[in-house]
Structure 1
Amino acid sequence: MTATTWDVDGRKVFGVTAGSGEPVLLLHGYPQSASCWRHQIQALAADHHVVALDWPGFGRSDPPSTPPTYDNEIDRIERLVRRLGWQRFNLCAHDYGGFIGLGYAIRHPDRVRRLALLNTRAHGTFRPWFYRVSLGQRWVATHPVLSAPARRLPLAALHHAALARYRELGCFDTTVEAEYLAWMDTPQGRRTFWEFFAHYPVPAVGWLADGLAGIRCPVAVIWGDRDPYIPFNTARGLADRIPHATLTRLRGADHYLMEERPREVTDALVSLLDMASAA
């Protein structure tokens, strides 16, 4: 693997690349980085050119150049793909990456050869308890009287406490987790955090559900069914409503399934990439 950076909109985007052949873009979720795909990259790179990014605002990448509205994030994927020089590519995306990646695949069907969606809210939203948490974060982020003092919160320490279950599951150790959370400990990172939640669309994005039937490329829905944030019904909905979708249910797996069940996720992604793509 080779670490590299690209200039996109005048900002640094960090990523790792490996292999050659048909391109594969790996998009991570919250609050991770490209490292969450560390178990899959080499296997996928045996026959493909793999790029795993730290999404702008996360990991080692600079904050985005425009507010992270849903439309802006989809447009950002397109600018990144153009910067990479790709015409068509495979897209594998988890959590927040899957949320914006699904919108990209619907809006740019000519770009996406194959699509993998892993434990993402996709066309739906969160379980009720986490939906309320997300609404609360947006409330704080959009009210200056609250967001100003909130920028003094120890965000990395709070996330460290919240991620204890995933350290216990062996998804990642404290070293990898520290990489995921390091951006939160800087003044810029705190601003980026609250900017992110100020623009995050907590309710379902209506046109995503409407667009599922129009996705014509092969799609792999890969899901840990013990996810406390996103219901398994979301995976069923994707598999039922996308014409060429298959569902891989990893029984007993949690939200960060690429790290908890790496071999099964890798096998499912390799199977997807072996399928004939849409013309």
Structure 2
Amino acid sequence: MLTAGSISGAAAAKGGAGDLPRKKTASGTAYHEAGSGEPLVLIHGVGMRLEAWAPQIAFLSAGHRVIAVDMPGHGESAKLPAGSRLEEFVAWFGRFLDEMAIGRVNVAGHSMGALVSGGAAATLGDRISRVAYLNGVYRRDQQAKAAVLARAAAIPVTGVDKEGPLARWFGDDADSVVARELTRKWLNLVDPQGYAVAYAAFAGGDETYADRWKDVAGPALFLTGSDDPNSTPLMAEQMAALAPRGWVRIVEGHRHMVNLTAPDIVNSLLAEWLSFGEDER
């Protein structure tokens, strides 16, 4: 287990409180780019936007070409059609790499972004050098699956639930206040239709590529918080055991938005992951 303090007010002001400038591909994917070197693409989760990676962008762009994307229907990116499944989100990511003329890439995803990054690692072959799977789900148990499917079904009726995610993603400790309020802001900005499409894909996607970790040859980091009730340490351990070069890192005392509540630890672990050769681990 690894311990860390939460994101400070100064760190939030530096890396997460303001909007980041964007460019767009021809098909309408918005992205922010910083730094130079080996490329790293960051994919956020449902309801978020690329600013959710701000602490990682600031740190990792010192040695890498860091590209954070707005997932379809989030931030300023174009939507995918209603009914799009996880496979369509993975295909979107492949098209984004083509539009950016990126041949090989490292990819880190958080939550729904983790599912996309795992799908990319499983299906895009040698184009994915390394994959980092942050707070990602794997084969939910029956109770968890029923709960997430019920939440997905309720969205067209009740709209975007802003308080439920905050309750699941953060503890009540004072140290989480800044990150929680940033997350609340992003949930309030999300497009309801884009959110609904992504959440439905997320709800049904925990098994889509679950059998493919054995085929992921590059270094694979599985990272989550010890107190994340949905993307659990056990899930991370199960996936890492299947991946030929997989390993687990658990951040003690943190929940779902660990990249915001423990940015220094997460930055260090991502730097460690990026330092390994493709034949190591």
TM-score (norm: length of structure 1):
0.83
Indicate yes or no: 2:74 matched with 1:58. Answer: yes
Equivalent residue for 2:149?
A: 135
Q: Does 1:178 align with 2:153?
A: no
The residue matched to 2:75 in structure 1 has which SS? Answer: coil
**1:116-152 alpha-carbon deviations (Å, 9 max, x no partner):** 111101x422x555422222134446xxxxx4xx1xx
Distance 2:81 2:142 in 1: 32
Secondary structure of the residue aligned to 2:126 is coil
Over the matched positions of the two proteins, sequence identity in percent amounts to 21
Contact 1:13 1:61 in 2 (8 A): yes
Question: In the alignment, what sits opposite 1:115?
Answer: 131
Evaluate the alpha carbon distance shift between residue 175 and residue 244 of structure 1 in structure 2; reply closer, same or farther with a 3 A threshold.
Answer: closer
Q: Does 1:91 align with 2:92?
A: no
Shift of 1:30: 2.1
Is 1:81 paired with 2:97?
A: yes
Q: Please tell me the residue identity of whatever aligns with 2:25.
A: D
Q: Which amino acid aligns with 1:87?
A: G
The DSSP-based 3-state class of the residue aligned with 1:131 is helix
After the TM superposition, list the runs of 4 or more consecutive aligned residues in structure 1 that deviate by more than 4 angstroms.
197-201
Q: Give distance in 1, aligned partners of 2:266 and 2:81.
A: 33
Q: Which one-letter code corresponds to 2:51 in the other structure?
A: S
Q: What one-letter code is carried by the residue in structure 2 that aligns with 1:237?
A: Q
Q: Unmatched 5+ residue regions in structure 2?
A: 1-14
Partner of 1:262: 263
Name stretches of at least 5 consecutive residues in structure 1 with no aligned partner. 142-146, 184-188
Structure 2 partner of 1:3: 21
- What amino acid sits opposite 2:74 in the alignment? F
Q: Is the contact between residue 43 and residue 109 of structure 2 (CA under 8 Å) also seen in structure 1?
A: yes
**What is the aligned length?**
258
Which of 1 and 2 has higher RCO (CA within 8 Å, sep 6+)?
Answer: 2
Give the Å deviation of 1:238: 1.5
CA contact (8 A) 2:214 2:242 kept: yes
- Residue matched to 1:163: 166
RMSD: 2.5
- Report the Cα distance in structure 2 between the residues aligned to 1:270 and 1:179, rounded to whole angstroms: 26
Cα distance change on mapping 1:256 and 1:26 into 2, 3 Å: same
Give the superposition deviation at 1:209: 3.0
* Residues 68, 200 of structure 1: 8 Å contact kept: no
* Corresponding residue number in structure 1 for 2:194: 192
Residue-by-residue CA offset, 1:194-213 (whole Å, 9 max, x unaligned): 3344555537425x232111
CA shift for structure 1 position 167 = 7.7
Q: 1:171–1:259: 8 Å Cα contact kept in structure 2?
A: no
Q: Following the alignment from structure 1 to structure 2, what is the Cα–Cα distance between the partners of residues 258 and 175?
A: 13
Residue 18 (structure 1) shift: 0.7
